[in-house]
Each structure stands twice: as C-alpha cells, then as structure tokens.
Amino acid sequence: MFLFVGLGNPDPKHKNNRHNIGFVIIDSLNKRFNLSKQKPKFKGLLTNGEINNQKLILVKPLTFMNNSGTCIREIQDYYKIIPKNVFVFHDDLDLEIGKIRCKVGGSSGGHNGIKSIEDTIGSNFYRIRVGIGHPGEKKLVDSHVLNDFTDEETEVINTSVQKLLDNVHLLIERDLDNFSSKSNT
C-alpha cells in the first residue's frame, strides 16, 4: 500500500496559494483516477483507491503545513505503511515554476512541512517537488508562497500537473528517472 500526501494549508483563503500545490495534485489525482470521496480522518482528508493496480491512500493534512507530520504518522501507523511507500508532493522555491523533481531522503531545504514529516517518520520517503519559483529576495519568501499563482503561472502549473498525472504510474514503479524526464518535457 502507498501513501500519497499533498502538502498545503486547509483554510479556504489558501486554496490557490503557491504553497498549496500539494493539495492541487491530490485533488487532480482523485479526479483523474476517479478515487473515493474525500473523508475527514486522521487529521486529514483521505481518499483511497487504486492506480496502476496498486492500492493507495491519498491525504491532504488538515493540520496546516508546519504540523503535517502528525497526520502522516497516524495514517502510517494505522495502515502499517513503511516510509519508502510514502510520497509527498510539495512546493519548492528553488525550482523554476512548474519544474518537477523527485528524490528519496535528503534535507527539508527549509520547507516546514517536510521538516515536520522528517521529525515524525524520518527522512526516508519520496519527495516530489514542484517548482514555484523564487521571488528573488529572502524577505519576500513568506508572501510569495502564501500568494496565489498569477494567470500565467497557473497555465504553467496546470500543464505540469497534467504531465505528473500522465506519469504517476512511474512513481509507483519507482522509476524516478523516467518520471522526472517525462514530467518535464
């Protein structure tokens, strides 16, 4: 069984924020693969179903970004999901808008949602980073991640999310090189 986690903030005012790209991806996966209706459970909104003949649980933590690990730990413990079967979709300031990168382990890179997960389940999980671009100055970062995508950025993000959906089976197969290559063409 796999756990797909989309990071974001649950307040409706954050719905289209750059920081909420993980929620966008989970919603898009649910729609594309016609998965179950989202239900509140384990401090998150859960969906389950199958993609590529593999059982999955998808979650949008409702704990806000900085406490995402709490939700993930509860799900992981209940369903006995090992960290290597956890895939976390999140924003990345250091990547160009719409670029997608995937890796196992590593540091949080200053991302508080990832840090929370590392603090609760360790660092041996998959990170699918989606570029949101950097505002150029460190003092602008907080407002940048908590502001909505521009119309132009939304077009780029929508294209990137569709490519991710087209290639999600490669993630499940753990073919990270092909996933990254095909998701960024």
- Catalytic residues, by residue number, are 19
144-148: long-range contacts at Cβ-Cβ below 8 A with a sequence spacing of 24 or more? 144/18, 144/93, 145/17, 145/18, 145/19, 145/91, 145/93, 146/14, 146/17, 146/18, 146/19, 147/17, 147/18, 148/16, 148/17, 148/18
Contact 69, 53 (CB under 8 A): no
145 Cα distance to chain centroid: 15
